[in-house]
Amino acid sequence: MSIPRRRAGRERPSGGFELYSWYFFRISGLLLIFLAVTHVVIMHVVNTVDEIDWQFVADRWASPFWRAFDWLMLILALLHGLNGARLSIDDYVRSRSWRVFAYSLLWTTALVFLVIGSIAVLTFNPDAFGVDASATGS
């Protein structure tokens, strides 16, 4: 019988959903460092809320690259954040009925925001608003 080498690092979940969640938390976190920091620099430093308006978003989403970028970031950020909220509920919400309520609210929020976020990014069509197409550069 072999004795597994004791890890010096922190313990991690032994398996099942919690282990997947543990890995997802870290992998999505690494991807989000790249995605979110790029997003922050472009949308909050290089451009600011003074420049950003509907037309700005329409121009940006004329490119499939930025749509894919934004959609990937949306999905990863939302699931990463809600996973954090899930662990917080696990830590702080003690009574059984409040836990049922909090988890129900959490999963409902996840579903609703994943759907409306995806609709926003993927189905956007600037031509539907009769805006001069030459102005959008598309």
Partner 1 sequence: MKTRLVPTREPGPATLSTRGFVAYRGYRPPPGMLSWALHRITGLGVLLFLLLHIVDIFLVGYGPEVFDELLFLYRHPVFRIGEIILVGAVYYHAANGVRIILIDFWDKAARYERELLYGVIAVFLAGFIPTAVLMVRAMIR
The binding site for partner 1 (CB under 8 A) comprises: 7-13, 26, 29-30, 32-33, 36-37, 40-41, 44-45, 48-50, 52-55, 57-58, 74, 77-78, 81-82, 84-85, 87-88, 91-92, 109, 113, 116-117, 119-121, 123-124, 128-129, 131
**Type of residue found at 108:** T
Write the secondary structure of the chain as one string of H (helix), E (strand) and C (coil): CCCCCCCCCCCCCCCHHHHHHHHHHHHHHHHHHHHHHHHHHHHHHHCCCCCCCHHHHHHHCCCHHHHHHHHHHHHHHHHHHHHHHHHHHHHHCCCHHHHHHHHHHHHHHHHHHHHHHHHHHHCCCHHHHCCCHHHHCC
Minimum CB separation of residue 53 from partner 1 in Å reads 5
Minimum CB separation of residue 1 from partner 1 in Å reads 23
Minimum CB separation of residue 30 from partner 1 in Å reads 7
> Among residues 1 and 49, whose Cβ is nearest to partner 1?
49
Minimum CB separation of residue 130 from partner 1 in Å reads 9
> Among residues 100 and 135, whose Cβ is nearest to partner 1?
135
Write the CA distances from 51 to 47, 48, 54, 55, 74, integer angstroms: 6, 6, 10, 10, 22
> Among residues 1 and 50, whose Cβ is nearest to partner 1?
50
Minimum CB separation of residue 66 from partner 1 in Å reads 13
